[in-house]
Amino acid sequence: MEQFFFYMFAIAAVVSAVLVISVRNPVHSAFYLIVCFLQVAAIYILLRSPFLAAVQLFIYVGAIMVLFLFAVLVLDIGREQFRERFHGQTVPALAAIAGLFVVMGILVVSGKITAPLGPFDEPALMKNTEVIGKSLYTSYIFPFEIVSILLLIALIGAVVLVMSGQGKENKG
For residues 12-41, which are near other proteins according to CB under 8 A? none
Least distance (Å) between residue 119 CB and other proteins: 10
Measure the CA–CA gap between 151 and 51, rounded to whole angstroms: 21
Question: Which x/- pattern, by CB under 8 A, does the window 103-142 give for other proteins?
Answer: ----x----xx-x--x-------------------xxxxx
Choose among 71, 4, 74, 1: nearest CA to 33: 71
Q: Which is nearer to other proteins, 78 or 167 (CB)?
A: 167
| Residues ≥6 apart with Cβ < 8 Å to 24 | 79, 82, 83
Query: Cα–Cα–Cα angle for 72, 44, 137, nearest 5°?
Result: 95
* Binding residues vs other proteins (CB under 8 A): 107, 112-113, 115, 118, 138-143, 146-147, 149-150, 152-154, 156-157, 159-161, 164-165, 167-168
